[in-house]
Structure 1
Amino acid sequence: MTAYDAVLFDSDGVLVEPPPAETQSTATRAAFREVGVDDPDRRHVEAVVDGITVEELEGICAAYDLDPETFWEAREHHDERSQLDEFERGVRGRYDDVSAITDLPVDCGVVSNNHHTTIEYVLTQFGLEPAFETYYGREMTIESLELKKPNTHYLERAMADLAAESVLYVGDSESDIVAATRAGLESAFVRRPHCRETELEVAPTYDLGDLHDVADLVCGDGRRGRS
């Protein structure tokens, strides 16, 4: 008897190593150069990297007299290309403990704020397609920024695909936990090295060390990690 009907996982920071901030900054600067801005304000670059809103994006583009759609298309292209390049060169990889959750006795899915096409690449690149019945990342559009977690949009789409009622969402960020809470899901926060000391304002259902703990939780009583 398992504890859940289904388990959903974030990708970056849970299944694979997250992209370095410097890589994302470099990709953002390349996008600015493509649209004719050779020396963008550092604060604008940081805003794009740190999770920009539609309103913030429009304000930044107005500062350089840029069309937001044109700039965002360039940004998404360079951001995705930089990520795929790091995977191909082995700079980023799959976490070793992912093997603990590739054969769980329940349906599984992936829900990420990264591009849908990047998630598709990750699942193929690391042989994870058989482990997940569904997956969602965001489209490469400005509109998708409104649908990112902590919005529940993609979580709800994955839940509908799996026809699951009792679902656990596994993440590594505050927005993951908030999204799960808003969607009425239990949540597990996995403390990878990059979030080992993170202090959460919203408590997850479980605070765990790795994906072995997640597998124990799903397959057994696994209650030792409860917050």
Structure 2
Amino acid sequence: MTAPMAADPKAVVFDLDGTLIDSAPDLHLAANLVLRDEGLPEISFEQARSFIGKGAGVLISRVMEAVGLGDDPEEHARLLAKFMTHYEGEPANTLVYPGVVDALARLETMGCAMGLCTNKPGAPTRIALEHFGLDRFFAATATADTLPQRKPDPAPLHHVVRALGAGSALYVGDSEVDAETAQRAGLPFALYTGGYRKTPLAELYHSYTFDHWDELPEIVSRHFARVEA
């Protein structure tokens, strides 16, 4: 179980896709199953990977653009619904990044309150967390369905921080969207370099970077030591 939270806990909030899990293979497969059923050309893995970050709706918009379908709202809604029927099952090809579970367990023993802030829809988020046994770590979650706003709007991140009972938090993510979200929320940002980022590090807002999850607990420890000093 998640460690009991102090009155003003050390809070760490995480992105999901490209940060805790590599879901690009399943997103790529679901998109291509839709395209195949429609008799349309399939997209490459690299295309699918580059479309991730702003939620399923934006991903389908980018898929439609890539195959020359335009942006008709009714067609978008129809294809998005088909996509979700493929994507809401068990994450057969998704993997947890190496070291994630151990890092979260170490943060738990350090007394950190942990939350999740993702643009992934609620149902596949819940399925993925339960499938990998990650749900036990998170005391608060914001998905694409939680609020009207989505990242990079800071509202979902603020929502999670408030739910954790924290005055502030460290946000952990992998992408341009995550960096912008943290910056707009006025929160420090730890950037995982092994995710879906396309922009050079020097051009992104960040407070810390890490290449492997083994490094994160020490970053968190140093960060809150500074905060408390």
Relative to the length of structure 2, the TM-score reads 0.71
CA distance in 1, matches of 2:158, 2:145: 16
Structure 2 counterpart of 1:101: 104
Structure 1 counterpart of 2:212: 210
Structure 2 counterpart of 1:183: 185
CA distance in 1, matches of 2:20, 2:28: 22
The Cα of 1:74 is off from its aligned counterpart by 0.9
Structure 2 counterpart of 1:199: 201
1:85 aligns with 2:88: no
Cα pair distance change 1:193/1:49, threshold 3 Å: closer
| Structure 1 segment 1-227 matched on structure 2, within 5 A | 5-20=10-25, 23-34=26-37, 37-40=38-41, 46=47, 50-51=51-52, 52=58, 67-81=75-89, 84-87=91-94, 92-102=95-105, 103=108, 104-139=110-145, 147-192=149-194, 198-220=200-222
Cα pair distance change 1:57/1:38, threshold 3 Å: closer
For the 8 Å contact 2:15–2:117, the answer to whether it is kept is: yes
| Unaligned 5+ runs, structure 2 | 1-7, 53-57
CA distance in 2, matches of 1:48, 1:212: 24
| Paired residue total | 209
Cα pair distance change 1:164/1:28, threshold 3 Å: same
| Unaligned 5+ runs, structure 1 | none
Amino acid at match of 1:26: L
The Cα of 1:175 is off from its aligned counterpart by 1.3
Cα pair distance change 1:193/1:16, threshold 3 Å: closer
The Cα of 1:38 is off from its aligned counterpart by 0.8
For the 8 Å contact 2:99–2:214, the answer to whether it is kept is: no
Cα pair distance change 1:216/1:4, threshold 3 Å: farther
CA distance in 2, matches of 1:25, 1:132: 27
Cα pair distance change 1:41/1:212, threshold 3 Å: closer
Post-superposition CA distance 1:116-172 (Å, at most 9, x none): 2222122222222221101222239xxx8x844222232122122112122100011
Amino acid at match of 2:113: D
The Cα of 1:194 is off from its aligned counterpart by 6.2
Query: Counterpart of 1:99 in 2: which secondary structure?
Result: helix
Cα pair distance change 1:61/1:156, threshold 3 Å: farther
Query: Counterpart of 1:113 in 2: which secondary structure?
Result: coil
Query: Counterpart of 1:109 in 2: which secondary structure?
Result: strand
CA distance in 1, matches of 2:169, 2:73: 45
For the 8 Å contact 1:150–1:175, the answer to whether it is kept is: yes
Post-superposition CA distance 1:65-112 (Å, at most 9, x none): 95332221112222333x62224xxxx235324312221412101112
Cα pair distance change 1:107/1:161, threshold 3 Å: same
CA distance in 2, matches of 1:149, 1:213: 26
CA distance in 2, matches of 1:118, 1:75: 12
The Cα of 1:204 is off from its aligned counterpart by 0.2
For the 8 Å contact 1:57–1:68, the answer to whether it is kept is: no
